[in-house]
């Protein structure tokens, strides 16, 4: 009787599936490699960025009023005082006005914005530690 | 604002400043940089900064400042329009090992192994709530007002809950935490920590530990809910990117799974926190706090007084190092709470009132604290005048937790933010 290997294995009480090699009868392996999973993206929804055009620049600072605005971080007041001293020494035609912005450092300060719009020409804002 | 502005930032915040400007619509904002730090430098040192170069561009700093205000705008600087921001593909397919690495390498984990969020696990998690997967839960940012707020859905919160190892029954609590909008990874340089006080019957339903070792790693619900807060903070608000959305100079180990404080209501002689905040006792509520974390308060003044420990004095003493930026979160073992009742503090409010009136600081010392310009009442107050640390008694909050093996308390320079119903997310 001609006996192929499949029959031989059956006679020996072994599964013919062994002929398929490692992985046969289980999850797909070998040719396609280990089992793969599909994971989902855990991220939230980022808002679109609305581009904001920058305000027109001045031709020069000569004779202009520059508001030196502190965001409230420690040291910003002293730093801006030195900034005022620098302008006084190096660009005396520039008038500087120091202000502490109201609220937390990232809060808007509409009252100060209105004052700057009425009395000033530009802003230097500082600084964060 | 409508007028030319030259923002100045120290070089330590270069990436933050640039990414923040871009996310607010001015990717080419003319930011000028100084050396770091400014705080603590002498006037002469700061003036030298101004006379020196911008450490980013290498050009003279004051010339940069003046140019920022006077050089004509380019076409790019005047652009308008909308730019969509992608948060990556919807799915990733690979081996489990490679996926672990993928999530880690792409900043979507707490740098520990996660549960891979497959659709099957997500579907199972979503059984924990009756809400639809696409319902918007809330908004969150690394620091409110300083960064754009991301929004997120029930499905997205559930994905992060899976990753943190949560069970479906934890999901309503995690959704309530997410709804607070408070990130557990604040961008602040101060390395803040967050706490979530859990009240109501759900503590027992979830087998939360509010007894021995309540704040330690001894219950799956405490651990996974806390971890999920950090996971969702990272992924749902873009918090926790060092240099850009996270600036905590030392970092904080509490951020791994946060302070999860299920109140020990049955052993507490006081009203539970959620009832103080206006909820009914049978409601399930999460209340969140943020600040400088908490530290143990044993050994303080008052505890050695015979025959009765003066817990109120000990708490006041242990709060002395607090700064004015945050209030006080006092965590008491039930033994301490019962001791305070015996001392006459029948309610949390009575104790808060005593602490507000008796925790004092000199005006001189108050003026020397960080952010003193935000809180010292007025400049005419004499230096030697003693003023309260906090203007309001409700700056003090109390939570009773622990297993009564020792009359311990802990004090945290942390502020209450908000309480959210867990039941609404069931």
Q: Does A51 touch chain B (CB under 8 A)?
A: yes
pTM for this prediction: 0.85
A121 and B370 within 8 Å at the Cβ level: the answer is no
What is the rounded distance in angstroms from the CA atom of residue A36 to the CA atom of residue B98?
A: 9
Residues of chain B with pLDDT under 70: 298-300, 305-306, 369-377
Tell me whether residue B87 is in a domain.
Answer: no
Both B34 and B134 in one domain: the answer is no
Chain B partners of A46 at a C-beta cutoff of 8 Å?
85-87, 148, 150, 238
Q: Closest to A40 (Cβ–Cβ): which among B73, B91, B189?
A: B91
The answer for residues whose C-beta is within 8 angstroms of residue A109's C-beta and 6 or more apart is A101, A102, A103
Indicate whether B103 and B64 sit together in one domain: no
Residues of B in contact with A106 (CB under 8 A): 143, 145-146
The minimum CA-CA distance between A42 and chain B, rounded to whole Å, is 6
* A104 falls within a domain: yes
Distance from CA of B183 to the nearest CA of A (A): 13
Tokens of B292: 């400088």
pLDDT at B417: 96
Residue A95 domain boundaries: 65-126
The residues near B41 (Cβ < 8 Å, ≥ 6 apart) are A75, A78, B49
- On whether both B156 and B120 belong to a single domain, the answer is yes
In a domain, A111, yes or no: yes
Q: For B316-370, how does the pLDDT look when each residue is reduced to its tens digit (9 = 90+)? A: 888 877 777 789 999 999 999 999 999 999 999 999 999 999 988 888 887 776 5
First to last CA, chain A: 92
- Domain span at residue B317 reads 96-425
Chain A residues in contact with B30 by the CB 8 A cut-off are 54
Domain count, chain A: 1
Residue A121 has pLDDT above 90, yes or no: yes
Model confidence band, residue A4 (pLDDT cutoffs 50, 70, 90): very low
Co-location of B34 and B140 in the same domain: no
In terms of domains, do B73 and B125 share one?
A: no
Q: What are the residues whose beta carbons fall under 8 Å from the beta carbon of B366, sequence distance 6 or more?
A: B324, B372, B375, B376, B387
The answer to whether position B36 is within a domain reads yes
Q: How close B281 comes to chain A (CA, Å)?
A: 33
Q: Is B335 within a domain?
A: yes
Model confidence pLDDT, tens digit, residues B47-97: 999 999 999 999 999 999 999 999 999 999 999 999 998 899 999 999 999
Residue A18, pLDDT above cutoff 90: no
In a domain, A46, yes or no: no
Picking from B19, B49, B78, the residue at the C-terminal end of a domain is B78
- Check CB contact of B118 with chain A, cutoff 8 Å: yes
Judge whether B343 is closer than 8 Å to chain A, CB to CB. Answer: no
Query: Which pLDDT score is estimated for B370?
Result: 58
In this structure, is residue B298 part of a structural domain? yes
Distance from chain centroid for Cα B98 = 32
Q: Does some domain include residue A79?
A: yes
Domain-located, residue A115: yes
Q: Are residues B9 and A40, on separate chains, in Cβ contact within 8 Å?
A: no
Q: Does B149 contact A47 at a Cβ distance shorter than 8 Å?
A: yes
Select from B25, B43, B78 the last residue of a domain. B78
Tell me: pLDDT of A28 over 70.
no
Residue A120 lies in a domain: yes
Q: Please check whether residue A18 lies inside any domain of the structure.
A: no
Output the average pLDDT for chain B.
Answer: 93
pLDDT of residue B299: 65
Q: Does B296 or A54 have the greater pLDDT score?
A: A54
In contact, B229 and B161? CB cutoff 8 Å: no
Residue A95 covered by a domain: yes
Tally of domains within chain B: 2
Band of pLDDT at residue A114, cut at 50, 70 and 90: very high
Predicted local confidence at residue B330, as pLDDT: 96
List the structure tokens of A55. 């305000």
- Domain assignment present for residue B242? The answer is yes
pLDDT in tens, A70-102: 988 888 999 999 999 999 999 999 999 999 988
What pLDDT sits at residue A31?
A: 62
User: Do B55 and B153 have their domain in common?
Assistant: no
Residues of A numbered 2-31 whose beta carbons fall under 8 angstroms of chain B's beta carbons: which are they?
Answer: none
Per-residue model confidence (pLDDT) at position B78: 93
Q: How many CA atoms lie within 13 A of B54 on its CB side?
A: 20
Buried b (16+ CB within 10 A) or exposed e, B130-158: ebeeeeebbbbbbbeebbbbbbbbbbbbb
Interface test with A, best of B2, B7, B144 (most A CBs within 10 A): B7
Q: Is the pLDDT of residue A17 over 50?
A: no
Among B47, B78, B109, the domain-final residue is: B78
Please, what is the average pLDDT of chain A? Answer: 79
Shortest Cα–Cα distance, A32 to chain B (Å): 11
pLDDT confidence bin for A11, thresholds 50/70/90 = very low
Same domain, B24 and B138: no
């Amino acid at each position: 009787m001609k006996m192929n290997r499949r029959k031989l294995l059956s006679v020996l009480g072994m599964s013919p599936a062994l002929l398929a090699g490692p992985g046969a009868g289980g999850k797909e392996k070998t040719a396609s490699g280990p089992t793969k999973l599909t994971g989902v993206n855990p991220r939230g929804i980022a808002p679109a960025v609305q581009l904001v055009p920058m305000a027109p620049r001045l031709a020069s600072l000569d004779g202009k009023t520059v508001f030196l605005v502190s965001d409230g971080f420690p040291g910003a007041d002293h730093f801006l005082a030195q900034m005022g001293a620098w302008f006084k020494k190096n660009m005396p035609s520039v008038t500087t006005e120091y202000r502490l912005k109201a609220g937390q450092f990232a809060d808007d300060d509409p009252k100060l914005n209105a004052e700057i719009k009425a009395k000033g020409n530009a802003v230097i804002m500082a600084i964060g530690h | 604002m409508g007028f030319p502005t030259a923002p100045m930032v120290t070089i330590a915040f270069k990436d933050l400043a640039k990414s923040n400007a871009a996310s607010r619509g001015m990717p080419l904002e003319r930011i000028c940089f100084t050396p770091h730090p400014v705080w603590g430098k002498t006037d002469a040192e700061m003036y030298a900064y101004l006379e020196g170069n911008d450490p980013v561009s290498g050009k003279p700093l004051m010339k940069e400042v003046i140019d920022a205000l006077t050089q004509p705008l380019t076409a790019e600087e005047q652009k308008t329009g909308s730019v969509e921001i992608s948060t990556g593909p919807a799915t990733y397919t690979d081996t489990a090992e490679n996926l672990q690495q993928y999530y880690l390498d792409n900043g979507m984990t707490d740098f520990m192994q996660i549960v891979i969020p497959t659709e099957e696990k997500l579907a199972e998690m979503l059984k924990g709530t009756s809400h639809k997967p696409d319902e918007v839960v809330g908004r969150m940012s690394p620091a409110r007002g300083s960064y754009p707020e991301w929004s997120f859905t029930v499905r997205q919160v559930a994905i992060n809950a899976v990753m943190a190892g949560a069970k479906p029954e934890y999901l309503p609590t995690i959704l309530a935490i997410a709804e607070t909008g408070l990130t557990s990874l604040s961008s602040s340089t101060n390395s803040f920590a967050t706490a979530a006080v859990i009240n109501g019957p759900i503590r027992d339903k979830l087998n939360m530990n509010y007894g021995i070792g309540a704040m330690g790693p001894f219950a799956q619900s405490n651990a996974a809910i806390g971890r999920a807060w950090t996971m969702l903070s990272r992924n749902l608000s873009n918090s926790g990117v060092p240099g850009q959305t996270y600036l905590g100079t030392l970092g904080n180990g509490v951020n791994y799974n946060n302070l999860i404080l299920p109140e020990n209501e049955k052993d507490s002689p006081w009203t539970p926190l959620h009832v103080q905040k206006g909820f009914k006792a049978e409601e399930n509520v999460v209340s969140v706090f943020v600040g400088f974390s908490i530290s143990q308060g044993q050994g303080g003044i008052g505890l050695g007084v015979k025959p009765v420990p003066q817990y109120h004095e000990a708490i006041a003493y242990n709060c002395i190092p607090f700064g004015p930026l945050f209030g006080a979160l006092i965590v008491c073992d039930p033994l301490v709470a019962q001791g305070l009742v015996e001392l006459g503090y029948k309610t949390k409010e009575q104790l808060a009132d005593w602490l507000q009136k008796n925790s004092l600081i000199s005006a001189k010392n108050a003026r020397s604290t960080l952010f003193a310009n935000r809180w010292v009442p007025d400049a005419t107050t004499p230096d030697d005048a003693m003023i309260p640390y906090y203007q309001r008694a409700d700056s003090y909050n109390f939570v009773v937790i622990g297993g009564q093996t020792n009359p311990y308390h802990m004090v945290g320079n942390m502020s209450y933010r908000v309480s959210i119903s867990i039941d609404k997310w069931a």
